[in-house]
Amino acid sequence: DGGITQSPKYLFRKEGQNVTLSCEQNLNHDAMYWYRQDPGQGLRLIYYSQIVNDFQKGDIAEGYSVSREKKESFPLTVTSAQKNPTAFYLCASSIVGGIGNIQYFGAGTRLSVL
Amino acid sequence: GQQLNQSPQSMFIQEGEDVSMNCTSSSIFNTWLWYKQEPGEGPVLLIALYKAGELTSNGRLTAQFGITRKDSFLNISASIPSDVGIYFCAGDNTDKLIFGTGTRLQVFP
C-alpha cells in the first residue's frame, strides 16, 4: 500500500530527554512536512523539506530538529529545549511542482511528557 | 505564523441537516483545499479547488473557490453520523499550506 507511515503512534518523553518521531513515505514525493497540533487548534508548521539534504524552518521550529538524508524519510527530533512538547504530531508529503500543494498526511504520533 | 479564519468554530446539528462552513484570508491563494480529520487520525483530503469561482462536488460535499481568491466555502448536504470530525480549509502559499483553525462538526441522530 502506498502512503505515509508515522511511528510510534504514542510516545512518552521524560524531562530532559530527546525523542525522535519517525515518518516514512513510499509515494515518491519530493516534499515532506512536520506539523504540531494542540487540542482544539489547527496545524502549525514545524519544519519542511523540498529536497534531500535540505530543509527549512516553519513557524514553530524552536526546540525541534530534522534531517532529510533519504527521499522517503523525514524524522523529527523533539529536543529537551522544547519545554511544552505534549501535542499531536503530523507528518505530510507532497509533489513539488504539481498543480496546487496537495499534502497527504500520516496517522500521527501523540507525544506526552511523563 | 498565519492561520486562516474559519467559521463557525463548532457546529452541533441533527442528522439530515445541511451544513455550511467558510474560510477567509487576507491573502490571495491559487489553490484552496478542504480536509477532514477524525479523532486520533491525520487529515484526509476532501476537495481541491484550483480556479477562482470554481464549484466542485464530491458526493454530498460541495466546495467553492471565492471570486476574490481570498475565501472558500464547504457545504455538506443531508448530514450523517459519520460526518463527525474536524474540517480544515487550507490555502496554497507556493511551498507550504496555510491552514484554517478548523470547524468541529457533531451530528446527532
- Calculate mean pLDDT across residues B93-102: 88
Is it the case that residue B1 has pLDDT exceeding 70? no
Q: What distance in Å separates the CA atoms of residue A48 and residue A45, rounded to the nearest whole number?
A: 8
Q: How far apart are CA A45 and CA A35, in angstroms?
A: 5
SS3 sequence of B62-91: EEEECCCCCEEEEEECCCCHHHCEEEEEEE
Q: Do A101 and B95 touch (CB under 8 A)?
A: yes
Cβ(A53)–Cβ(A68) under 8 Å?
Answer: yes
pLDDT bucket at B3, cuts 50 / 70 / 90? confident
Q: Across the strands, what pairs with B48?
A: B33
What is the 8-class DSSP label of residue B105?
E
Distance from the B54 Cα atom to the nearest Cα atom in chain A, whole angstroms: 14
The set of cell numbers assigned to B107 is 451530528
Mean pLDDT throughout B15-35? 95
Answer whether residue B94 shows pLDDT above 80.
no
The one-digit pLDDT tens for each residue of chain A (114 residues) are 669 999 999 999 988 899 999 999 999 999 999 999 998 788 999 999 999 999 999 999 999 999 999 999 999 999 999 989 999 999 999 998 777 789 999 999 999 988
Which residues of B are less than 8 Å from A59 in CB distance? 1
Cα–Cα distance measured from residue B26 to residue A48, given in angstroms and rounded to the nearest whole number: 24
Least confident window among B17-21, B72-76, B98-102 = B98-102
Instruction: Determine the distance in angstroms separating the CA of B66 from the nearest CA of chain A, rounded to an integer.
Output: 16
